[in-house]
Structure 1
Amino acid sequence: MDMTGKTVMITGASRGIGAESARVFAAAGANVALLARSQDALADLVGEIGEKAIAIPCNVARYGEVSSAVATTQSAFGGLDVLVNNAGVIEPISHLAEADPDDWGQVIDINLKGVFNCIHAVLPIMRETGGGSVLTISSGAAHNAIEGWSHYCASKAAVNMLNRCLDTEEAQHGIRAIGLSPGTVATQMQREIKASGINPVSRLDWSDHIPPDWPAKCLLWMCGPDADRFKGGEISLRDDEIRGAVGLA
C-alpha cells in the first residue's frame, strides 16, 4: 500500500513491533514520528530510516508529553493520518497475591491510559482533516485469563473496549478504529515472559513466535479499505485468511 504523503505516529517505536512498523511504513512512503522512552534507540532508528523519520522521546503515560509529541509531529509533517498504539509492558510478572500495587498500576498507566492519552491527543487533528486510522495492538490476553498476567490481561481487555467506544463515537468523523491481536511475537517481551517461568506461554520455544515484521506488515494493510470490515473490532494474525490477505502466507 502506498503511504506517500501520509504521516504515521508510532508509540513504543524503539524496538520490536514498533521499530519494524517504522521501517515498513517508511518503506511504503510515509513520514513516521517515532515515540518511545529510549532516546538512544530512537536516534539509531531515525538514522537508519532517514529524513522521513523523527524521534520524539515520550512516556505515553504522561498526557503532557503525548500532547507535545503530537504537536511536534504536526509541525514537522503538516498533519497526522495514522496512530499506531503499540507501547506496552508486561513486567513485573507476578501472581495477584504477590503483586506490588504501584508496579501493577504502572502497567495500567502505560498499556491503557497511554492508549487513551494518544487517542485523545490526535482526535482534534484527525477530525479537522476529515478522519484517520487509529490502530491499536491488542492481545489474546484481552480474552483469556493468564496466570501471572492480571495487569496485562486487564489492560488489554480495557483497551479493546476503548477501541469499540472510539468507533462508536468517532466513526461519524471518518476515524477508523481497529485492533490487532498478533499472537506471540519474537520480541523482548517474550524474553521477559520466558524468564518468568510462570505459565505455559513462558515455556514456548522461540520458533513458536512470529517475527515482528509480520504484525508491522499487517498494520500497513490495515490502513487500506480491505480492513474496513474490522472497524470497531479486532484482527487476529493467527487467522490464515488474514495472513493471506497481508501476504504472509
Structure 2
Amino acid sequence: MTLSGKTALVTGGNRGIGLAAVKALAEAGATVHFTARSAANIAAAQRELGDMIAIGHHANMTDRDAMTTVLDHGFDILVNNAGVIGPIGRMLDISPEDWGANIETNLIAAFHATQTAMRHMVAKGGGTIVNLSSGAAHRPMEGWSAYCCGKAGLAMLTRAIHEEYAPQGIRVFGFAPGVVDTDMQGSIRASGLNPVSKIPRENLAPAEEPAKAIAWLCTAAADALAGQEVDVRNPDLRRSVGLRALE
C-alpha cells in the first residue's frame, strides 16, 4: 500500500481518528497536511507525531476563507474528519441555534471543503475524498438528532459526488469508523443517553484501526468500493485492510 507522491489533507487532524489518519497516510508515503482549531493544538499534534513530518494549518472547518486558503494548495486526497457530536439532548431540550451549528460543521463545512478540493482535483484529472460517516447516518439515536441528520446528509453527499464526478476521476467513500476511543466518546459517555453511552471504554476500538482503513481507501485497491458507504466492522474490508477479525 503506497501513496508515494500524493498529497493529503485531514481536517481536524490534531487528535483522535484524525491524528491517527495523519500518521497512517504519512506511513503510506503521502505528504500530509492537517487542520486544527488553534496553534496550540497543532503544536501538540506535532509533538505526538515526533519525527514524522506533517504540516499543520490553523483553520476552523466553518471558516470558509481560512479553509479555502488551505485547500488551494491543491490536494490529491481530502479526509473530511472534523466533526462535532453536540448538542446531545432530546429535541425539546436543545435550541435551533445549537442544532444548526452541528449541521454547519458536519455537513455544510464538509460540502465547502469538498467543493473547493474538487476544483483542483478535477483540473488534475482526479482525486480521493473520504467522508467520515457513522452508523448514526442510517438510524436514529436518542439525543443525537443533529448528529444523525448531519451524517445522513453527508452520506447522501458522498453518493452525489460519485454520481456527478466519478467520470472525472473523483473517488469518494463514506467511511464509518466504528465506536472508537476518542474525546467525542468521552462526551457521549458523560451524557448517559442511548446505548452508545453505556459502552465501557475498554470495549472501544483504537483509533489506529479506522486510520489504517482510511489510508487503504486512498489506494487503488479500494476502487471497487468508490461511491459507497463502507464500515470498518465489515469482515471483508477488515481482511483487505489487514485488520484483526472481530469476535
2:59 is the counterpart of 1:58:
yes
8 Å CA contact 1:186–1:210 kept in 2: the answer is yes
Q: Residue 15 of structure 2 corresponds to which residue in structure 1?
A: 15
- Give deviations 1:141-198, integer Å, cap 9, x for gaps: 0001100000000000000000100011111110001111111111001100000001
What SS does structure 2 have at the residue aligned with 1:87?
coil
1:125 aligned residue: 120
Q: CA deviation at 1:215?
A: 0.7
Task: Name the Cα RMSD after superposition.
Answer: 1.3
Residue 247 (structure 1) shift: 0.7
Letter in structure 1 aligned against 2:224: R
Q: What letter matches 2:190 in structure 1? A: A
Match of 2:79 in 1: 84
2:225 is equivalent to residue 230 of structure 1: yes
Give CA deviations for 1:107-127 in whole Å, capped at 9, x if unaligned: 111100111011011111101
1:209-220 alignment runs, 5 A limit: 209-220=204-215
Give the match for residue 181 of structure 2: 186
Please state how far the C-alpha of 1:49 moved relative to its aligned partner.
4.9
2:204 maps to 1:203: no
The CA deviation at 1:46 is 2.9
Report if aligned partners of 2:2, 2:219 keep a CA contact under 8 Å in 1: no
Structure 2: distance between partners of 1:24 and 1:82: 13
**Paired residues for 1:98-117 under 5 Å:** 98-117=93-112
Q: Taking structure 1 as reference, are residues 156 and 92 closer, same or farther at Cα in structure 2, changes over 3 Å only?
A: same
C-alpha separation in 1, matches of 2:137 and 2:227: 15
For residues 76-112 of structure 1, the C-alpha deviation after alignment (integer angstroms, 9 at most, x for no partner) is: xxx4110000001012211100111111111111100
* Equivalent pairs, count: 243
Aligned counterparts of 2:69 and 2:221: Cα–Cα separation in 1 = 33
Distance in 1, Cα, partners of 2:38 & 2:27: 23
**1:43 counterpart = 2:38:** no
Answering whether residue 168 of structure 2 is matched by residue 173 of structure 1, we say yes
* Residue segments in structure 1 that go unaligned for 5+ positions in a row: none
Q: Secondary structure at 2:129's aligned position in 1?
A: strand
- TM-score, scaled relative to structure 1: 0.94
- Asked whether the equivalents of residues 19 and 45 of structure 1 are also in contact (C-alpha less than 8 Å), the reply is yes
**Which stretches of structure 1, 4 residues or longer, exceed 6 Å deviation after superposition?**
none
**8 Å CA contact retained: 1:14, 1:45:** yes
Which residue of structure 1 lines up, in the alignment, with residue 240 of structure 2? Answer: 245
Q: 1:225/1:3 Cα in 2 relative to 1: closer, same or farther (>3 Å)? A: closer
1:140 shift after superposition: 0.1
Tell me, yes or no, if structure 1 residue 68 matches structure 2 residue 69: yes
Is residue 93–residue 196 contact of structure 1 (8 Å, CA) maintained in 2? yes
SS state at 2:62 partner: coil
Same amino acid, percent of matched pairs:
40
Shift of 1:51: 7.3
- 2:87–2:146 Cα contact (<8 Å) kept: no
Tell me the residue number matched to 1:28: 28
- Structure 1 residue aligned with 2:141: 146
- Contact 2:12 2:36 (C-alpha < 8 Å) held by counterparts: yes
How far apart in 2 are the matches of 1:112 and 1:223?
Answer: 21
Unpaired runs of 5+ residues, structure 2, are none
One-letter identity of the residue aligned with 2:155: N
Q: Distance in 2 between matches of 1:228 and 1:4?
A: 17
